Structure 1
Amino acid sequence: MRQALSGIVSKSASPLKTIMILAMAMTFVVAGAASSFAAKSAAIVVDAKTGKVLYSANADGRRYPASLTKMMTLYLTFEAMAKGKISRNSPVVFSAHASAEAPTKLGVKPGGSVAVETAILSIVTKSANDSATALGEMLGGNETNFARMMTAKARQLGMNGTVFRNANGLPDPGQFTTARDMATLGIALREHFPQYYGYFAQRSFLYGRQRINGHNRLLGRIKGVDGIKTGYTRASGFNLVSSVNDGNRRLVAVVMGGTSGGSRDNQMASLINAYLPRASTRGGGDLVAKADSNPISALAKVLLPKHDAPTPDEKPVAVAEADTAVADDATVAQGDSEDEDTAEAETPKLVVPAKKVKTVIVSAPKVATAQVVAAYAEPAPAVDPVNTASVPSGWAIQVASSPKQSEAQAFLDNTTKQARKVLADASGFTVAFDKDGVTYYRARFGGFGSKDAAWKACTALKKKKIECYAVQQ
């Protein structure tokens, strides 16, 4: 660089000319670093009704998930709730390890606990790392085993480009994913657990006397956006998975590697603006996010190509900061958190461009079956590959059916209020089914270990003049 500049800047050059030439040279250096990072960005837009890919850019490139990792933590939490293994009120105990996680966090002391629902809300709003770890330890016994469960579940869902190493997404060089896989997970969360999906639309919640606000700035600003999750570390850049539902069309879009929260949000807004009108108004039959029925591949530890791996040392902060060593992003350093508010002192104004985005319309490529190189001793249960949402195994009771999910949920809420003691250990959920081209929603409570237990609950509900019958899942 010095030789190049010396050839450009002559000894006779005026001071002003010299400054201008040096400024131009520095501009090229900064631009080169920025373009290197831009090459690591990724995005995808998927029609959530049909599975058709409407837009794709580096969708299969390996990326760091950051807090998008918590989407799988919540998937396994919802699965445990749906199967009646835990309930909204089950206590989540925070170990010393969980309590010591880096911010952002809820701040529960070692040995303390919160309800499952509080842990969920702290994850979808504050992106609490300690809550995610505590849930992982609760469900997996320890975080390492839970990470195995997360990866096994990813394989079952067809997420062949993802490996999880922890429950919260804090930096780990062995934890990676793709934009396509995150879209698959986003669709699966809604399709398999519609009874719990509403948590992702939560913009704030009360924790004691404290109002905790969420990081997802598109909620309430872009019509139809109802979740799902933000993510940020210095290595990953700014990530976002968004679900959009305008009543007739549904999209799941992913943006990864943004240079700022504002630019990422603006890119997501542009994608939604451009592609929501192109989404199908039909569909809604078979599930888009189906489980892999092959238990061997579900247990596989996938072998990904060595190229196209994220390289934290090329991040844009390397231009302005001296801490460019790769080790900085492989450890939890000060400021290397999941806190977007810390990363950006001011929230950039959200701009929804009217100009159309240049697009690349592609079809989802066929992914070869991953080679099996390891098997986990305790795989997570498979998602039911049926035409309805994944529901609890065993026995359940049904209290209503409605063409509107909101009405079915209202039946569940009212029934819970009227019969709290009867349903103390049960979990409410809705199950979608199609009849004569119309989608209906069954309102059910699961978690009954036997036919007799379900019948007994129905008998008690009928005494309260609540219609009910028992069904085996």
Structure 2
Amino acid sequence: MLFSSAGRPSRIARWIATAAFLAALGSAGGSTGARADVASWIVIDAETGAVLEQKDARRQWYPASITKLMTAYLAFKAIRDGRATLDSAVAISVNARAQPPSKMGFKPGTQMTLDSALKMLIVKSANDIAVAVAETIGGSEPAFIEMMNAEARRLGMSATRFVNPHGLPDNRQVSSARDLAVLGRTLWREFPQYRSYFGLSAIRVGKKTLRSANREFLARVRGANGMKTGYICNSGLNVVVSATRGGRTVMAVILGSASGVERAAKARKLIDDGFRKRSGRNIDALTGTAGGPPADGYCKRNTRPSAEELMATFAGPQLRPSSALSFAQGDLASGGVRRPIVMQTPTVEADGDDDVPTRDDGKTDWGKVMDEIIGPRQRGIEAVQVSLGMPKGKVGTAAAVAAIANAPLPRDKPVAANASLLPASGAAAEAVEAVQPLPGAIFRGKPLLIAPLPPPNPRP
């Protein structure tokens, strides 16, 4: 039915018209001012490594805070090799304290367990914690960076070069959707005992509750279980996500989204599409690089999609729940217990006057928009308590902690030579040096949009 009872075009008809209009803009070329699509993505079967879908997956891109997956990976390896435990002491150094936001902001000398540090690293995406973990595992930040690059080479991440453990702006630090999928898959397969870290939607440190930027994907997508988001202006919004259904896990990497809502909606769509496919070439055969990273200021050029554009692209009846009762997945807060929660069916009417749900004040109701394009909430957002200090009977080596806390700032961050990824000398090297973003430039351009949390659904 393409017309409502009042004689107006139905919602479906308006979606079709909007989608056709956007397609026409895209085919007309850059002079129209049409916004760019998500730059690059890949979808894989996490167990078999089959590539189920991809777009420019070998193009180099700035990984931003997805970098922290490698930092966590090396921490897990150190535990497996007996060089650390989850109770190992992590101390904030002068160098760690000096990192730009996002950060925890603890004073030099503050101690915590590696377990607590990993939760802050993954959920808060804290840059100071990333450096503290690097110094704990590698002995120094430069030594840890060498470990990161050695591991990237071992895993066959041929488009990747690391120069820091957190992903703050540095145009020398590059990866690709394909390489980040290799890293995500390796984490998933080698360390199943630590998967729950990447499924945390929030932590509580003292009286502060810190929510993951991946929380809407985790709460709304069926079977969602991880992994990590990232954002700097030069990269746009990135994410690695995974979901498990019927014993099968599908993983997606998305690079260059224009808003947090678009990123989550795209992730949901790619994951859903991935579960409908079974075969594809193995990711190990998709090697090399094909294209360089974007010019500086990517977030300024890639304009944020409107609610209308998001609805036209991602909304559909397949997201409506079949019943009012679902079950939350187990997490660290519940000890793996599945808890029933009541869900509310989206209240947007099929033939309403507006495509985009609005509040009483006429503004966009982003909670209902997310119901339509990502899916209704299937579980709550619960915070796991994270503590500072060392547990009773578990103390760090005093000399080691003092040495880390009082270590001077490093003068530079060495990068292992790689002629195919880094300019060796001359004008090319000078050009790269000239465009290095300054600390604190991470949020250049328009403010990052991650929709506010809607109020909890009322229980009957």
Aligned residues of 2:61 and 2:294 also touching (Cα < 8 A): no
Mark the CA change 1:31 to 1:233 in structure 2 (over 3 Å): closer, same or farther.
Answer: farther
Pairing 1:180-329 to 2, within 5 Å after superposition: 180-216=178-214, 217-279=216-278, 308-313=291-296, 315-317=298-300
Distance (whole Å) between structure 2 residues aligned to residue 248 and residue 345 of structure 1: 31
Q: Which residue of 1 aligns with 2:57?
A: 59
Distance (whole Å) between structure 2 residues aligned to residue 143 and residue 190 of structure 1: 25
Give the TM-score normalised by structure 1: 0.57
Q: Which residue of 2 aligns with 1:331?
A: 437
Question: Which residue identity lines up with residue 64 of structure 1 in the other structure?
Answer: Y
Question: Which residue identity lines up with residue 46 of structure 1 in the other structure?
Answer: I
Aligned residues of 1:261 and 1:348 also touching (Cα < 8 A): no
Deviations 1:210-234 (A, max 9, x none): 2221111201210111000000000
Pairing 1:19-418 to 2, within 5 Å after superposition: 31-32=32-33, 34-35=35-36, 38=37, 41-216=39-214, 217-279=216-278, 308-313=291-296, 315-317=298-300, 330-334=436-440, 336=442, 343-344=448-449, 346-347=451-452
Question: Which residue identity lines up with residue 83 of structure 2 in the other structure?
Answer: K
After TM superposition, give the deviation of residue 316 of structure 1 in Å: 4.5
Aligned residues of 1:200 and 1:228 also touching (Cα < 8 A): yes
Aligned residues of 2:233 and 2:299 also touching (Cα < 8 A): no
Q: Which residue of 2 aligns with 1:426?
A: none
Deviations 1:50-80 (A, max 9, x none): 1110101000000000000000000000111
Aligned residues of 2:259 and 2:450 also touching (Cα < 8 A): no
SS in 2 for 1:343: coil
Deviations 1:163-209 (A, max 9, x none): 11100000111110010111111111011111112111111122123
Aligned residues of 1:235 and 1:329 also touching (Cα < 8 A): no
Distance (whole Å) between structure 2 residues aligned to residue 222 and residue 79 of structure 1: 30
After TM superposition, give the deviation of residue 131 of structure 1 in Å: 0.5
Question: Which residue identity lines up with residue 164 of structure 2 in the other structure?
Answer: N
After TM superposition, give the deviation of residue 30 of structure 1 in Å: 7.0
SS in 2 for 1:55: strand
Alpha carbon RMSD of aligned pairs, Å? 3.2
After TM superposition, give the deviation of residue 84 of structure 1 in Å: 2.1
SS in 2 for 1:219: helix
Mark the CA change 1:341 to 1:118 in structure 2 (over 3 Å): closer, same or farther.
Answer: farther
In the alignment of these two chains, the number of paired residues is: 296
Deviations 1:433-459 (A, max 9, x none): xxxxxxxxxxxxxxxxxxxxxxxxxxx
Distance (whole Å) between structure 2 residues aligned to residue 115 and residue 334 of structure 1: 28
Mark the CA change 1:289 to 1:157 in structure 2 (over 3 Å): closer, same or farther.
Answer: farther
SS in 1 for 2:120: helix
SS in 1 for 2:86: coil
Aligned residues of 2:251 and 2:271 also touching (Cα < 8 A): no
Distance (whole Å) between structure 1 residues aligned to residue 219 and residue 302 of structure 2: 35
After TM superposition, give the deviation of residue 93 of structure 1 in Å: 0.9
After TM superposition, give the deviation of residue 345 of structure 1 in Å: 6.2
After TM superposition, give the deviation of residue 331 of structure 1 in Å: 2.2
After TM superposition, give the deviation of residue 146 of structure 1 in Å: 1.0
Aligned residues of 2:260 and 2:449 also touching (Cα < 8 A): yes
Mark the CA change 1:329 to 1:121 in structure 2 (over 3 Å): closer, same or farther.
Answer: farther
Give the unaligned 5+ runs of structure 2: 1-24, 304-430, 455-460
Deviates more, 1:85-94 or 1:183-192: 85-94
Mark the CA change 1:59 to 1:186 in structure 2 (over 3 Å): closer, same or farther.
Answer: same
Distance (whole Å) between structure 2 residues aligned to residue 226 and residue 28 of structure 1: 38
Aligned residues of 1:99 and 1:109 also touching (Cα < 8 A): yes
Mark the CA change 1:341 to 1:80 in structure 2 (over 3 Å): closer, same or farther.
Answer: farther
SS in 2 for 1:313: coil
Aligned residues of 1:179 and 1:256 also touching (Cα < 8 A): yes
